[in-house]
Structures are given as structure tokens and as C-alpha cells.
């Protein structure tokens, strides 16, 4: 199987080997050490400001999006939220559910965010800004330096869903002045699903401390308190946390986050160069490194996904809803190589020869 979806993605052999072992008991000093190391490496790789902390949640990425909305914000906030696809829409739904006043910037699929969207919102009493740094559903990477400037000028708390961009596109919490960064185990971390992570700046930590949480499982005060001794309040996905530890240490040993970002850039550019001979258009002018969204000119995108899966044992990522027949996505996250890109493009060329891609 060759997996070019955006998650779960292919794991390295070392990470997979841990998955075949017995899961250990975790209320031990040894497991606490693993967790301290996980927290240290996450803070290092996100360039988190001094005094930041990490919460390890046994939930999919959405659990950490919800925990962030519930614990960092309150009904006294007035948030701006970017909605350019299904993940932006999810933030909007969470703000609605938790009754947090908000203004939605609604973008066309694939459209970048620009100064024109932000300018009318300056000096309007907003307190927070929520954005999916990469809108994985369309492969758009938003202009984070622009968002960061706007947030600084207006004193906004910046909450970033980096679930598909952390470890794939450059992200520096300190220089961006980001307060919350959310990611998940099954995207660029290239581990099985089960864990999501929230990095909180000192300013976000103050917000968490000052708010009353109405959830037990998603209470970040509880997670932070237990984290002080390298533990979680409830039984975590222990095996996945051990795999995350392996992956983070492997990235560190291979030259750190900068090397990994370079590898991801090379991989996505290599694919885009090779696929250019096929009758597909790039769906966005501002793509993330972790995903290439393509619009086939005269073939159903969903049919391309189906044939690749059934006849070539290669998985790409279909789109749903309005984009089902218009767009498919090729993920570059996880243990993939430029040779794998060649395999995929050759399969597509073969489909073209067979008249299955027009």
C-alpha cells in the first residue's frame, strides 16, 4: 500500500515497530520521562515562547480544537474566525456551540486570505483570531505573517490549528506571537491517530487558569496540573505517545525541525514538478507543503481516486461535498520519498494511456 492521503499517513519502520509491542503501564517515572521529553521537543519544534506548556489529549484533532475553544475563550470574548473550507467551518461550529461571539470571514474554496478581508475588522473590539494555518480540505496555506501583524496591532489572542502544517510548513510561535497551536498524531507527526496536542503560550495559560471549564475530559487545567509530573488525568493512548516520542527524537537526530521542513518542501515540489505533465490544474495559488490539491480538467476527481485505490493500490485523498468531482488531494506527509512520487505519477500516466484520465 502506498498512502498519499492527509492522515493517517505512512509511519516509519521505527514507529511501526513500537506499535507491535505490548503497551506498558504508564503511572511510572519512566513514562513520565517520555512525556517530559515529548513536551520539551514539542516546545522546541514550535519555537514556543519561554513559559509555554503542552497538553497531550487522547482525542482526534477536533478534540483539541474544542478544548482550545472551551478553555482559552469565554462568552466575554469576541472572535474572528477564518472559514475557507471544512476545517474552518468546524471552528465556526465550535464557536456557535460554545456561544462565543464571533465574526466569520467566509472565503471561496481555494481562495487566499488578504489584507482586504482584515482591514475592516481593525479596531472593532475583537479579542481573538482563529485560523487553520493550512485549510487541509483545499490545501490552502494562509499568510501567517499577515495574520500575526493584524493580531499584534489589535491585541488579539491568536489560536492556530496547525494540524496539517506543524512539521511541514515553517511555524514559529514566538515570532508570530501565536498563543495556541494545535496538532494531531496522524498528520505530519506520522503516527497512528489517537493523540492531539495543544501548545499554550503564557498568555493562553493565563486564560485557561481564569476560566471555569464545564467539561471534565477536556479540562485543560486538569491536563496542565497532571502534566507537571509528566502524566495525564486519564489513561492516554500510551502506545501512540511512545510512537510520538520516537518520531520527535528521530526528527531531532536527523537535524531538527528545519531539516524536516526542508525535506517536506523538496517532496511537495518534486511531486508538483512531476505531475505538471498531466491535465490537472493546481487548485490554489497558495499551497501548503503537506498537500497538493488538484483539479482534473476533464475527468471526475472522485473516479481518479477510486481507480488508483482499486487498480493500483495507491491512496490519494478524495474531496467531499461540492468538490467531490472537481478536486482530489495528494498528501506529502509521513514516510514518503521522491521515488514514491514517481510511482504515483507513473500510475496516473498509465491511467491517461488507458483513457481513464482525459
Ligand X SMILES: *Cc1c(COP(=O)(O)O)cnc(C)c1O
Q: Take residue 347 and report the three cell numbers written for it.
A: 500510475
Q: For ligand X, what does the binding mask look like between residues 87 and 126, x meaning CB under 6 A?
A: x---------------------------------------
Identify the residue among 3, 5, 7, 150 touching ligand X (CB under 6 A): 7
Instruction: Specify which residues 134 forms β-bridges with.
Output: 141
Q: Take residue 206 and report the three cell numbers written for it.
A: 493565563
Judged by CB under 6 A, the stretch of 45-53, 123-131, 157-165, 172-180 that binds ligand X is 157-165
Cα gap 133→181, rounded to integer Å? 10
Q: For ligand X, what does the binding mask look like between residues 162 and 181, x meaning CB under 6 A?
A: -xx-----------------
Judged by CB under 6 A, the stretch of 106-114, 159-167, 171-179, 264-272 that binds ligand X is 159-167
By CB under 6 A, tell whether 84 contacts ligand X: no
Q: Take residue 156 and report the three cell numbers written for it.
A: 488579539
With beta carbons less than 8 A apart as the criterion, state whether 127 and 74 touch.
no
Closer CB to ligand X, 192 or 230, in the complex = 192
Closer CB to ligand X, 80 or 347, in the complex = 80
By CB under 6 A, tell whether 132 contacts ligand X: yes
With beta carbons less than 8 A apart as the criterion, state whether 39 and 54 touch.
yes
Residue with cell 519555537: 47
Closer CB to ligand X, 32 or 60, in the complex = 60
Closer CB to ligand X, 140 or 261, in the complex = 140
Closer CB to ligand X, 85 or 227, in the complex = 85
CB atoms within 10 A of CB 268: 25
Min CB(185)–ligand X separation in Å: 9
CB atoms within 10 A of CB 346: 12
- Strand order from edge to edge, sheet including 291-296: 280-282, 291-296, 328-331, 317-318
Residue with cell 495556541: 180
Cα gap 247→191, rounded to integer Å? 8
Closer CB to ligand X, 59 or 231, in the complex = 59
Cα gap 334→5, rounded to integer Å? 10
With beta carbons less than 8 A apart as the criterion, state whether 2 and 347 touch.
no
Q: Take residue 323 and report the three cell numbers written for it.
A: 468538490
Closer CB to ligand X, 130 or 205, in the complex = 130
Q: For ligand X, what does the binding mask look like between residues 31 and 60, x meaning CB under 6 A?
A: -----------------------------x
Min CB(253)–ligand X separation in Å: 26
Query: Contact positions toward ligand X, by CB under 6 A?
Result: 7, 60-62, 87, 132, 134, 136, 161, 163-164, 184, 187
Amino acid at each position: 500500500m502506498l498512502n498519499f492521503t492527509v492522515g493517517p499517513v505512512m509511519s516509519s519502520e521505527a514507529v511501526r515497530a513500537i506499535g507491535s509491542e505490548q503497551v506498558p503501564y504508564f503511572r511510572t517515572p519512566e513514562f513520565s520521562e517520555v512525556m517530559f521529553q515529548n513536551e520539551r521537543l514539542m516546545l522546541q519544534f514550535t519555537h514556543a515562547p519561554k513559559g509555554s506548556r503542552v497538553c497531550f489529549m487522547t482525542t482526534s484533532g477536533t478534540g483539541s480544537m474544542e478544548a482550545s475553544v472551551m478553555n482559552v475563550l469565554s462568552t466575554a470574548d469576541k472572535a474572528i474566525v477564518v472559514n475557507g473550507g471544512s476545517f474552518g467551518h468546524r471552528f465556526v461550529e465550535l464557536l456557535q456551540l460554545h456561544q462565543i461571539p464571533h465574526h466569520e470571514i467566509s472565503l471561496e474554496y481555494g481562495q487566499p486570505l488578504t489584507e482586504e478581508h482584515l482591514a475592516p475588522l481593525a479596531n472593532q473590539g475583537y479579542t481573538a483570531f482563529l485560523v487553520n494555518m493550512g485549510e487541509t480540505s483545499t490545501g490552502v496555506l494562509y499568510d501567517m505573517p499577515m495574520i500575526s501583524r493584524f493580531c499584534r496591532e489589535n491585541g488579539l489572542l491568536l489560536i492556530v490549528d496547525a494540524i496539517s502544517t506543524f512539521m511541514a510548513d515553517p511555524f514559529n510561535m514566538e515570532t508570530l506571537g501565536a498563543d495556541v497551536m494545535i496538532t494531531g498524531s496522524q498528520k505530519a507527526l506520522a503516527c497512528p491517530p489517537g493523540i492531539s496536542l495543544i501548545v499554550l503560550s503564557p498568555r493562553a495559560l493565563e486564560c485557561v487558569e481564569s476560566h471555569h471549564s464545564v467539561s471534565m475530559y477536556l479540562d485543560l487545567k486538569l491536563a496542565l496540573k497532571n502534566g507537571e509530573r509528566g502524566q495525564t488525568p486519564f489513561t492516554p493512548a500510551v502506545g501512540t505517545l511512545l510512537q510520538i516520542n520516537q518520531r520527535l527524537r528521530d526528527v531531532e537526530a536527523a537535524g531538527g525541525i528545519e531539516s524536516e521542513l526542508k525535506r517536506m518542501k523538496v517532496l511537495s515540489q518534486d511531486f508538483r514538478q512531476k505531475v505538471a505533465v498531466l491535465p490537472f490544474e493546481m487548485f490554489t495559488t497558495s499551497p501548503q507543503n503537506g498537500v497538493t490539491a488538484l483539479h482534473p480538467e476533464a475527468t471526475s476527481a472522485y473516479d481518479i481516486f477510486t481507480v488508483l485505490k482499486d487498480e493500483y493500490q495507491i491512496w490519494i485523498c478524495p474531496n467531499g461535498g461540492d468538490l467531490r468531482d472537481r478536486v482530489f488531494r495528494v498528501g506529502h506527509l509521513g514516510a514518503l520519498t521522491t521515488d514514491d512520487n514517481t510511482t504515483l505519477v507513473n500510475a496516473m500516466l498509465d491511467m491517461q494511456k488507458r483513457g481513464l484520465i482525459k
